[in-house]
Amino acid sequence: MSQSHQTIFPSNALADAAVEVALDVLTEREEFDLVGVQATDETAYTWNLTTDDLEWETNAETVLGVADRNTINSGEKFSRLIAFEHVQRRQEIFDRTVEGSAAGGLPYCLKYRLAAAGPRTLPVWVEDHGRWWPGRDGRPALARGVMRMVADSYVEEQRLLYRNDHDELTGQLNRARLTDALNAVILRCSRSRTQSAFLMVAINNLANVNETLGHHVGDQVIGAVVSAITGKLRGGDLLGRYSANKFGIILNDCGPGAMEIAADRFMRAVRELTIRTDVTQVHATISIGGVVLLDHAQTVHQSLSCALQALEKAKHNRLESFVAYEPNPAVEGARQRNIAMVDDVISALEAGRMSLALQPMMGSKSRRPKIYECLLRMERPNGEKVSAGLFIEAAEQLGLSRLIDKRTLEMSIVLLKRHPGITLSVNVSSLTANEPDWIATLRQLTADDPSLTQRLIVEITETSVIIDMNMMKVFVDTLREMGCRIAIDDFGAGYTSFKNLKALKVDMVKIDGAFVKDLMADKADQAFIRTMVDLARNFGLETVAEWVGDEASAQFLTDAGIDYLQGFHFGQPIAAEDFTGLPTA
Looking at the domain assignment, is residue 76 inside a domain? yes
Quick check: 465 and 430 in contact, CB under 8 A? no
Same domain, 293 and 237: yes
pLDDT at 522: 92
In the three-class reduction of DSSP (H, G, I as helix; E, B as strand; rest coil), residue 485 is classed as strand
In a domain, 77, yes or no: yes
- Is 402 inside any structural domain? yes
Assign residue 152 the CATH number of its domain: 3.30.450.20
Which residue numbers in the chain have pLDDT < 70?
1-40, 101, 151-164, 462-468, 493-500, 582-585
The CATH number of the domain holding residue 415 is 3.20.20.450
Q: What are phi and psi of 507, to 5 degrees?
A: -110, -20
Last-in-domain residue among 136, 161, 186: 161
- 3 state SS for 46-108: EEECCCCEEEECCCHHHHHCCCCHHHHCEHHHHHCCECHHHHHHHHHHCCCCCCCCCCCCEEE
Q: Tell me the three state secondary structure of residue 206.
A: helix
Q: Nearest CA to 567 among 578, 552, 584, 581?
A: 552
Nearest-angstrom CA–CA distance, 552 and 5: 99
Do 420 and 553 reside in the same domain of the chain?
yes
> pLDDT tens for residues 372-397?
999 999 998 888 888 888 888 777 77
Per-residue pLDDT tens over the stretch 381-440: 888 888 888 888 777 777 788 889 999 999 999 999 999 989 999 999 877 877 788 999
Residue type, 381: P
Q: For the packed helices 84-93 and 175-192, what is the interaxial angle rounded to 10 degrees? A: 60
Q: Which of 442, 359, 432, 424 is nearest to 401 (CA)?
A: 432
What is the distance between the alpha carbons of residues 545 and 562, in angstroms, rounded to a whole number? Answer: 7
Predicted local confidence at residue 500, as pLDDT: 67
236 shares a domain with 305: yes
Inside any domain, residue 341: no
* Distance of alpha carbon 30 from alpha carbon 33, whole angstroms: 6
> First CA to last CA across the chain, in angstroms?
108
**Which residues are 110's β-sheet partners?**
128
**Is 375 found in the same domain as 244?**
no
In a domain, 340, yes or no: no
d(Cα 18, Cα 141) in Å, to the nearest integer? 9
Given 130, 161, 192, the domain boundary residue is 161
Same domain, yes or no, for 80 and 209?
A: no
Alpha helices in 231-328 (DSSP H): 256-271, 300-317
Question: Given 294, 327, 360, which residue is the final one in a domain?
Answer: 327
The answer to whether 126 and 149 are in contact (CB under 8 A) is: yes
For 83, the domain range is 3-161
Neighbours of 415 (CB within 10 A): 18
Q: What does DSSP say about strands 238-243 and 246-251: parallel, antiparallel, or unpaired? A: antiparallel
In a domain, 520, yes or no: yes
Domain shared by 131 and 264, yes or no = no
Q: Which of 159, 170, 335 is nearest to 242 (CA)?
A: 170
- Beta-sheet strand order (sheet of 124-134): 53-56, 42-48, 140-149, 124-134, 106-114
Predicted confidence at residue 434, as pLDDT, reads: 73
Q: Tell which residue, 132, 123, 130, has the closest CA to residue 147.
A: 130
What's the confidence (pLDDT) of residue 321?
A: 93
Residue 191 sits in a domain whose CATH number is 3.30.70.270
156 and 176 both lie in a single domain: no
Residue 340 near residue 348 (C-beta atoms within 8 A): no
Same domain? 142 vs 286? no
Residue 258 maps to a domain = yes
- What's the CA gap between 225 and 209, in Å, rounded? 14
In a shared domain, residues 152 and 262: no
Q: Are residues 285 and 358 in the same domain?
A: no
Within 13 Å and on the Cβ side, how many CA atoms surround 480?
Answer: 13
Separation CA 183–CA 85 (nearest Å): 9
What backbone torsions phi and psi does residue 314 show, to the nearest 5 degrees?
A: -65, -40
- H or E segment to which residue 531 belongs: helix 523-538
544 vs 363: CA distance, rounded Å? 9
| 3-state SS class at 530 | helix
23 and 130 in a common domain: yes
3-state secondary structure of 184: helix
Instruction: Count up the domains in the chain and report the number.
Output: 3
Q: What is the dihedral of CA 544, 550, 552, 558, to 10 degrees?
A: 20
Asked, for residue 338, whether it belongs to a domain, the answer is no
Tens-place pLDDT, residues 100-113: 767 788 899 988 88
| Same domain, yes or no: 366 and 509 | yes
